[in-house]
Amino acid sequence: MPFTTSLPPALVATALLILSNVFMTFAWYAHLRNLSGRTWIVAALASWGIALFEYLLQVPANRIGYTTLTLPQLKIMQEVITLAVFVPFAMFFMHTPLKLDYLWASLCMVAAAWFMFRGTVASPG
């Protein structure tokens, strides 16, 4: 049974990708803090368990998003979301200090998104 909603597909895809990225970020990096005393295989298995939930959200997100977005647009959107999720994770979970470089990286991602989406967003009026 296909997923149906009255919300725009790009909005649904964005929400699912945000949730997916939370799981992805924890799968990729939380073991550095939480499982540092364990063997790498334990960390890998724990990460795979978390990553399952990432994929359960990411695959439908991309399928839904691809109904109205191009593949390059989906990719850039994913990268912007990844950075937006990673910075708070790094600061609050991993206790990494905020650096001005995060701002510069974010501005580069905004520029990349602008190039990918220009001409496709409807103008008001």
Are 18 and 81 in contact by the 8 Å Cβ rule? The answer is: yes
- Residue-wise pLDDT for 38-60, tens only, equals 999 999 999 999 999 999 999 99
The CB-side HSE value for 112 (13 A sphere, CA atoms) comes to 17
Give the whole-number percent of the chain exceeding pLDDT 70.
93
46 assigned to some structural domain: yes
Q: At residue 117, does pLDDT exceed 90?
A: no
For residues 39, 42, 46, 52, the Cα torsion angle rounded to the nearest 10 degrees is 120
87 assigned to some structural domain: yes
Q: Which two tokens stand for residue 32?
A: 């550095």
Q: What is the mean pLDDT of residues 96-114?
A: 89
Q: What is the mean pLDDT of residues 91-111?
A: 91
Supply the range of the domain harboring residue 14.
9-117
pLDDT category of residue 120 using cuts at 50, 70 and 90:
confident
| Number of domains forming the structure of the chain | 1
125 assigned to some structural domain: no
2 assigned to some structural domain: no
State the pTM of this model: 0.82
3 assigned to some structural domain: no
Pairwise CA distance, residues 28 & 24, whole Å: 6
pLDDT at residue number 93: 96
